[in-house]
Amino acid sequence: MRKIYIFDTTLRDGEQSPGVNLNTREKVEIAHQLERLGVDRIEAGFPAASPGDLAAVNAVARAVKNASVIGLSRSREQDIDAVREALKGAQDPCLHLFLATSPIHRQYKLRMEKEQVKDTARSAIRYARKYFDKVEFSLEDAGRTELEFIAEMTKMAIEEGAYVVNLPDTVGYLSPYEYGNIFKYVKENVPGVEKVQLSAHCHDDLGMATANALAAILNGADQIEGTINGIGERAGNTALEEVALALETRQDFYQAKTSFTLSEIARTSRLVSKLTGMVVPGNKAIVGANAFAHESGIHQDGMLKEKSTYEIMTPETIGFKESKLVMGKHSGRHAFREHLIELGFELDEEAINTAFAKFKILADKKKEITEDDLFALLEERMTDAPEFFQLDSLFVSFDSESAPVAKVRLTTADGEVRLEESSGNGAVDSIYNAIDKASQEDVTLADYSIKAVTQGKDALGEVHVALTQEGITAQGRGVSTDILEASARAYVDSLNRLVEKRKTYGRRDNISMI
Ligand SMILES: CC(=O)SCCNC(=O)CCNC(=O)[C@H](O)C(C)(C)COP(=O)(O)OP(=O)(O)OC[C@H]1O[C@@H](n2cnc3c(N)ncnc32)[C@H](O)[C@@H]1OP(=O)(O)O
Ligand SMILES: CC(C)C(=O)C(=O)O
Ligand SMILES: [Mg+2]
């Protein structure tokens, strides 16, 4: 199986992400984790950029024992000297030189003709080779460079003793077909190309960074440059975890592998996200929170029957705990039943159907149904009182100028529909006054409490109410994403229990039933 070398530039190109600034301690911490992950090469920074970065690269160089440590440099002696200083103490130092080669960069940025570009690069590599056994040379913006000039520059770099020639798609412009073709062209047209490793460095401006890296591998690239979580300049770089998992999952197709310890990927991703402050989007391939989560009923059913129906790799492979079946409005009965069993509920088919109907109503209101939501839902169901009164609908209006007004519609056990309206001191008070009118029960509110049972803006609120009537006390409970609805449900629940107690025990003191 062909080995693909992994050049991690999280600490250099990754740090070029707007807003990211890693200090020495953070760079060293990430570098140690990259060693554990098994990257071959770590680009630690751009020493000429600042004294702080030079010191950080030096700290990484001294700390890392199991990977080559690299410093980036323009094709200028003063930058090369800064890398020399920074890589003192490195076990396996490497200098990374670059110079842009595309017509746009030559004309507008460097203001150089082709020959000047070639001579500048040649002198820089020659100078660098006096101090470094390993020099990588990058043709910045190779993606927009004439193929013949790429070949000419690559030949020159080989002659001057570079050990890696990198052909970056600096601005993420190319399609996989075009990028792969550059490698094919160089392999077929540059004499001595077998003496160097060819490297791919891609950016994600058109969302092609990983696809382009893989196309390069298929056309002979030996090394892939990229970052953890795909962070980097503008839209970012190739996400290394994506390349590693693509090669692992599709070994049959690529016939190549990296030396990654795949189970370290999740930990590395979390650390980089924490220290750079760059949040990993939920739908990010491999390391996003949803990468192994399934919400829709048909997928969940497939997952329960056989995981390979909807997962091409396992979360355990990259160090995540397990796949998640997320309960939401697209979930189906199979996954719902499975969740209830996991939570310890034993319900017959009819009870599951009733609970499932309630779950769907709740799921329409909430983004995700958590275990706590399911508990709240099921506990409410299990302690349901007989319905002497059923709350059909609730309408509350209020503004800062006038008292709130509530309208409620109750149906009695005999099927009589009662619609009443009332105002009150607050929204809850007006609801309770309207329910009193509709139920025609004379009760006193003895206790009211409210708490959030789950988390977030759409958390379930749970309301507890105690009502008394001529010596009888009954408590009720209501759960909803809306606290006014939870308050109304708790009141009606309490009312139902009170009527039941009155019917069972007659009017007595302090019989409490929850
Ligand atoms: C594609 C990439 O990711 S390349 C790496 C990009 N990363 C960075 O730029 C981060 C670190 N950079 C820095 O801190 C600063 O840009 C420094 C310290 C390197 C240079 O700063 P300054 O001397 O103030 O120059 P400034 O950044 O404004 O301009 C860049 C100069 O380098 C030149 N230059 C650009 N690339 C190269 C190169 N590979 N080799 C030689 N010269 C180059 C430009 O033409 C320009 O030269 P000019 O001043 O003669 O016009
Ligand atoms: C310095 C080079 C390799 C680079 O980051 C790019 O071309 O994108
Ligand atoms: Mg780059």
Give me the average pLDDT of each 10-residue run along the chain (514 residues).
97 96 97 98 98 98 98 98 98 98 98 98 98 98 98 98 98 98 98 98 98 98 98 98 98 98 97 95 96 94 95 96 88 91 85 88 81 74 71 92 93 95 95 97 94 75 90 84 93 91 62 36
**β-sheet bridge partners, residue 237:** 203
Q: How many beta carbons lie within 10 A of that of residue 243, not counting itself?
A: 26
Residue 348 makes CB contacts below 8 A (sequence gap 6+) with none
Element at 316 (helix H, strand E):
none
Superfamily of structural domain 2-276: Aldolase class I (3.20.20.70)
Q: Which residue has the tokens 């009164």?
A: 389
What ipTM was assigned to the predicted interfaces of this complex?
A: 0.99
**Contact 95/73 with Cβ under 8 angstroms?**
yes
Q: How far is the CA of 170 from the centre of ligand 3 (A)?
A: 5
Cβ(477) – ligand 2 distance below 6 Å: no
**β-sheet bridge partners, residue 422:** 406
Q: How far is the CA of 76 from the centre of ligand 1 (A)?
A: 10
- b/e per residue 416-431 (b: at least 16 CB within 10 A): eebebebebeebbbbb
Please tell me the residue having the least CA distance from ligand 2 atom 5: 13
Which ligand ends up closest to the CA of 143?
Answer: 2
Using the atom order of ligand 2, give the atom closest to the CA of residue 168: 7
Which ligand ends up closest to the CA of 231?
Answer: 3
Which ligand ends up closest to the CA of 100?
Answer: 1
- pLDDT at residue 189, rounded to an integer: 98
What DSSP character marks residue 109?
Answer: I
Annotated binding site for Mn(2+): 13, 201, 203, 237
**Contact 328/367 with Cβ under 8 angstroms?**
yes
In the chain, where the domains are located: 2-276, 293-381, 383-513
- Which one, of 314, 288, 206, 259, lies nearest residue 8 by Cα? 259
Return d(Cα 427, Cα 407) in angstroms, integer: 11
**β-sheet bridge partners, residue 257:** 3
Q: Give Cα separations from 508 to 158, 436, 505, 513 (angstroms).
A: 99, 21, 7, 13
Both structure tokens of 280: 């990993």
- pLDDT at residue 512, rounded to an integer: 39
Q: Ligand 2: which of 138, 144, 166 to mutate, judged by most atoms within 8 Å of the beta carbon?
A: 138
Please tell me the residue having the least CA distance from ligand 1 atom 15: 49
Cβ(132) – ligand 2 distance below 6 Å: no
Q: How far is the CA of 347 from the centre of ligand 2 (A)?
A: 60
Tell me the backbone φ, ψ of residue 408, rounded to 5 degrees: -125, 150
Which ligand ends up closest to the CA of 137?
Answer: 2
Both structure tokens of 130: 């006096």
Q: Ligand 2: which of 74, 141, 170, 174 to mutate, judged by most atoms within 8 Å of the beta carbon?
A: 170
Please tell me the residue having the least CA distance from ligand 1 atom 16: 49
Ligand 1 neighbours (beta carbon < 6 A): 13, 16, 46, 48-49, 74-76, 98-99, 109-110, 140, 170, 233
Q: What is the residue type of 464?
A: H
Q: Render pLDDT for 53-66 as a digit per residue (tens, 0 to 9).
A: 999 999 999 999 99
Neighbours of ion ligand 3 (CB under 5 A): 13
Using the atom order of ligand 1, give the atom closest to the CA of residue 50: 14
Q: How far is the CA of 245 from the centre of ligand 2 (A)?
A: 23
- Which one, of 478, 466, 477, lies nearest residue 510 by Cα? 466
Please tell me the residue having the least CA distance from ligand 2 atom 2: 140
Return d(Cα 312, Cα 224) in angstroms, integer: 23
Q: How far is the CA of 47 from the centre of ligand 1 (A)?
A: 12
- pLDDT at residue 379, rounded to an integer: 67
CATH of span 383-513: 3.30.160.270
Q: Give Cα separations from 177 to 186, 211, 220, 348, 474 (angstroms).
A: 15, 9, 13, 57, 73
Please tell me the residue having the least CA distance from ligand 2 atom 3: 138
What secondary structure, in 3-state letters, does 392-426 show? EEEEEECCCCCCCEEEEEEEECCCCEEEEEEECCC
Cβ(13) – ligand 2 distance below 6 Å: yes
